Amino acid sequence: MKLCDGPALFNSSCWTVKFKQVLANLAFEDRVIFPGDIQQSFIYLKWDRYNKIRMKVLNITNNKIQELMFDVSVMR
């Protein structure tokens, strides 16, 4: 039996699990982005104050890491 079949389809925990699965598929982790492609995703952070996000990107063609900085405004 699948997780959300029958009566379980209307269970709120069923929807929570399905939602978490969908978000997990959209996460930036070990995703390869090819030249010319545009990707969108989520970055998960602890709930805290942030003013910058630093992201390290690995270029698989030359095996070099580039560091990117983004200004953000997240207040708790």
pLDDT tens across 15-61, in order? 788 888 887 777 767 778 888 888 877 777 778 888 898 988 888 88
Asked if the structure places residue 3 within a domain, the reply is no
Rounded to the nearest angstrom, the gap between the alpha carbon of residue 52 and the centroid of all alpha carbons in its chain is: 17
The tens digit of pLDDT for each residue in 4-15 reads 655 555 566 777
Asked if the structure places residue 62 within a domain, the reply is yes
Asked if the structure places residue 57 within a domain, the reply is yes
Tokens matching residue 22: 């969908």
Asked if the structure places residue 72 within a domain, the reply is yes
Asked if the structure places residue 35 within a domain, the reply is no
Q: What are the residues facing 67 on neighbouring strands?
A: 56
2 pLDDT higher than 70 = no
- Angle at Cα 47 formed by Cα 67 and Cα 40, nearest 5°? 50
Asked if the structure places residue 45 within a domain, the reply is yes
State the residue range of the domain holding 57. Answer: 40-76
Q: How many domains does the chain have?
A: 1
Pairing relationship of beta strands 50-59 and 64-74 according to DSSP bridges? antiparallel
